[in-house]
Amino acid sequence: MQLQDMYQEIILDHYRNPHHKGLRDPFDAQVYHVNPTCGDEVTLRVALKNVDGEAVVDDVSFEPLGCSISQASASVMTDLVIGKPVGEAMKIGDAFLDLMQSKGQLEPDEDVLEDAVAFAGVSKYPARIKCALLGWMAWKDATAQALSHSDSSSDGGQA
Partner 1 sequence: MTDTVSSAVETPYDVEAIRKDFPVLARTVRNDKPLVYLDSGATSQHPTVVLDAERDYYERHNAAAHRGTHLLGEEATEIYEGTRAKVAAFLGAASPDEVVFTKSATEGINLVAFGLAWSLKPGDEILISEIEHHANLVPWQQLALRTGATLKWFRELPDGRIDVDPSLVTERTKIVAVTGQSNVTGVIPPLREIGDLAHAAGALFLVDGAQLVPHHPVNVQDLGADFLAFSGHKMLGPLGLGVLYGKYAALDALPPFLTGGSMIEVVRMEETTFLPPPAKFEPGVPPVAQAAGLGAAVDYLTELGMDKVAAHEEALTAHALAALGEIDGVRILGPLTTENRGGTVAFEVEGVHAHDVGQVLDELGIAIRTGHHCAWPLHRTLGCQASNRASFYLYNTHAEVDALADGIRYTKKFFRV
d(CA 46, CA 87): 15
Q: Compute the least distance from the CB of residue 31 to partner 1, in Å.
A: 19
Query: Which of these segments, 55-63, 65-73, 80-88, 135-143, binds partner 1 (CB under 8 A)?
Result: 65-73
Listed ranges 2-10, 25-33, 54-62, 96-104: which one lies at the site for partner 1 (CB under 8 A): 2-10
By CB under 8 A, residue 43 contacts partner 1: no
What's the closest the beta carbon of residue 158 comes to partner 1, in angstroms?
Answer: 43
Burial code (b: 16+ CB inside 10 Å, e: under 16) for 137-156 equals bbbbbbbeebbeeeeeeeee
Q: Which of 65, 58, 76 is nearest to 40 (CA)?
A: 65
CA atoms within 13 A on the CB side of 111: 0
Contact string (CB under 8 A) for partner 1, positions 70-109, x = contact: x---------------------------------------
Distance, in Å, from the CA atom of 3 to the CA atom of 8, rounded to the nearest integer, reads: 8
Contact residues for partner 1, defined by CB under 8 A: 1-3, 6-7, 12, 37-41, 65-70, 125, 128, 131
